[in-house]
Chains A and B, each alone.
Chain A
Amino acid sequence: MDIPQKLAPIRKGLLEFVILRVVAADKVYVADMLKRLSETEFATQEVTLYPLLSKLRREELVDYEWQESDAGPPRKYYKLTAKGRAQLSVLNDYWKDLNRTLADFGK
C-alpha cells in the first residue's frame, strides 16, 4: 500500500475543512473550485462536491448567491456565512494544535 493510499481517509476527512478554506478566500463557483482542487491532493469531482456543499449549506456554514454569467445561465457563487467563519477559525486552531503535536513527537 503506497503512502497516498494509506492517507486517503485523512484527505477524505479534511475535504470539508479544505472546502471551507477555499470558500473563505473568495466567492467561488463550483467549476473554479474543482479546478483549483484538481491540481492538489484534494482533487475531487462534481458528484462528490455538490452533495457536500448542500450539506454545508444545511448546516448554515456556507451560502450561495446567483450571479449572471456571460456564458449561459446564472451561476451559484458560494461564500462563507458568519457561522461558517466561526467554525473555520476553530478548525484552523485545531489544525495548528495538531501540527504542533506532530512536530513535538520525534524530530
Chain B
Amino acid sequence: MQKVVTVNLNGNAYSLEEPGFDALRTYLQRAQARLTDNPDRAEIMADLEQAIAEKCARFLGSHKTVVTSAEIETILAEMGPVENADERADTVRDAPKAESQGAPPRDADAPKRLYQIREGAMLTGVCNGLAAFFNVDVTLVRIIFVILAICTAGAWVLVYIGLAFIVPYADTSEDRAAAYGLPFNAEELISQAKLHHAHFKARHAWRRQWRREQRAWHRHWHRQWRHVSEQAQMAATPPAPSMGYVGNTVLGISLPFIAVVSAALFVVWAFAMISLLTTGAIFGWPLPPGVPLWAGVVILVALHILVTAPLRAARFGGPRHWGTPAYGAWAALYGVLWIAFTAIFFWFAYLHIPQIHALIERLPEIWTHVTTGITV
C-alpha cells in the first residue's frame, strides 16, 4: 500500500504515489533552478508541467486513477535529464557530454557545503570533509591539524571534537556531491560510477597480471632448481623474470626504504622544531635577527613539506603511475602509520628525553609566547 499525493499540474489534478511525487517535485525544482536566467522561465515551467500532465493521462483509465512511482520514473526519463534544460545546451539526446570523458568538473553553480566524509576517513571524516571543501590533499589537512594540536597543547583537539559534532555527515549521494562542489544530477552520478568502475577493473586486472607473473616466475624457478640439483655439474643461470615483475619488485623494495627515509626526516624535523621552541635556535644556529619565533616555526613546517614532497610523490605516484589506483589504500596505510609513529615518538620522548619532557610541560608558556609573537 502506498500513500497518494494529489498534485496540480498546470491546472490538472493528478493522484501520484508518494515516492513518485517526491521524484517529480525534485525534477521540477531542478528544472526551475536550471532556468533561473531564462526570461521565459514561468512559461517553460508551465509547458513542462503540461507535458507531464499529458503523459500522466496516458497511464490513467476509468479503473486506474493513480499514477505509480514507476510510471513517474518513465515519464521523467521521457522528459529528459534536467541538466540539458538551458538553452545553451540544446542538445540532441544521446549526445555525449564532453566532461563525462574525464573527471567530473567542479561546477561554479553547484552548491558546495562542509560535510564529514566517511569514505577514507581516519577518525570521523572532519579532515576529509575539509580537504574536499578546500580542494586540497587530505594528508596536508591532517598534518596541519596535528601541528595545531601540538602547538595548542591539545586544545585544538576540542575544536576537532566540536567540528565532529557540529558538521553533518555526507550520507546521501547529493550531500557527497555538495561536499566536493560537484553538480548533482543523474548523468553526473552515472559518469562517476562508470569512472570508479573503470578504476576498479584496472586495479583488478593489474593484480591478476601480477599474480600470474609471480606464479610463472615461481614455476620457472622451481624447474630450474630441480634441474640444478639433479645435474649438479650444470651451472644453471637463474631465469630472467619478466620486466613487469622486476618493476613490481623494485617498488616493493623501495617503498619501505622510502618510508624509512621519510621517518628519519621526520625525526630530524621534530628535533629541529623542539630545539627551536626550547632554545630559540635550530641545533645551535640562532634565527637570523629580525625573524620572530613563529616565522621560524612556519619556515620549518614549510621546509619539511617541501623536502618530503618528492618522497610522497614517489610513494603514492608510483603505483598510480602504472595504472594501479591503489592510492587510497596506500594513503590510508601511510596515514595510520604516520599518526601511530607520531604518537609513539612523542610518548617515548616525553618519558625518556628530559628536554622534551620539559618542552611539553612548558607548551602553554611557549604557546603564549608564539601567539604574542604573532599579534605584536
Contacts and interface: CB of A to CB of B under 8 A. Distances in A.
Interface of A: 4-5, 8-9, 11-12, 15-16, 30-31, 41-48, 50-52, 54-55, 57-58, 71-73, 76
Contact of B95 (A8, A46, A54, A71): A8
Contacts of B87: 51-52, 54-55
A43 B92 contact: yes
B333 to A, nearest CB: 39
A73 B50 contact: yes
25 contacts: A5-B94, A5-B95, A8-B91, A8-B92, A8-B94, A8-B95, A31-B54, A43-B94, A44-B80, A46-B48, A46-B51, A46-B80, A47-B31, A47-B80, A47-B85, A48-B89, A48-B90, A48-B91, A50-B48, A52-B90, A54-B38, A72-B54, A72-B57, A73-B11, A73-B12
Contact of A43 (B12, B82, B93): B93
Given A30-B47, A46-B79, A71-B57, A51 B95 contact: no
Nearest to A1: B96
Contacts of B47: 30, 46, 50, 76
B85 A48 contact: yes
A52 B86 CA distance: 8
Contact of A9 (B10, B48, B84, B95): B95
B92 A51 contact: no
Contacts of B91: 8, 12, 44, 48
B53 to A, nearest CB: 7
Most buried by A among B38, B50, B53: B50
B96 A30 contact: no
A11 to B, nearest CB: 4
Given A44-B91, A51-B86, A76-B47, 13 more contacts: A5-B95, A11-B92, A12-B91, A12-B95, A16-B90, A31-B51, A42-B92, A46-B80, A47-B79, A48-B80, A51-B38, A54-B44, A55-B90
Interface string B54-83: 100100000000000000000000111110
A5 B91 CA distance: 12
B40 interface: yes
Interface in B1-21: 10-12
Given A12-B91, A52-B90, A54-B38, A47 B84 contact: yes
Nearest to B91: A12
B45 to A, nearest CB: 9
A8 B92 CA distance: 7
Most buried by B among A11, A41, A43, A44: A44
A9 B96 CA distance: 9
A42 B78 CA distance: 15
Given A31-B51, A31-B54, A72-B53, A54 B92 contact: no
B35 interface: yes
B109 interface: no
A1 to B, nearest CB: 9
A44 B40 CA distance: 20
B361 to A, nearest CB: 67
A12 B48 contact: no
| 8 nearest CB pairs, A to B | A45-B80, A8-B95, A47-B80, A54-B40, A11-B92, A51-B87, A50-B47, A46-B51
B225 to A, nearest CB: 51
B43 interface: yes
Nearest to B84: A48
A9 B80 CA distance: 18
B252 interface: no
A40 to B, nearest CB: 10
A68 B265 CA distance: 82
Contacts of B80: 44-48
A51 to B, nearest CB: 5
Given A45-B78, A46-B80, A72-B12, A30 B90 contact: no
Contacts of A4: 94
Contact of B82 (A15, A47, A54, A55): A47
Contacts of A42: 92
B39 A47 contact: no
A30 to B, nearest CB: 7
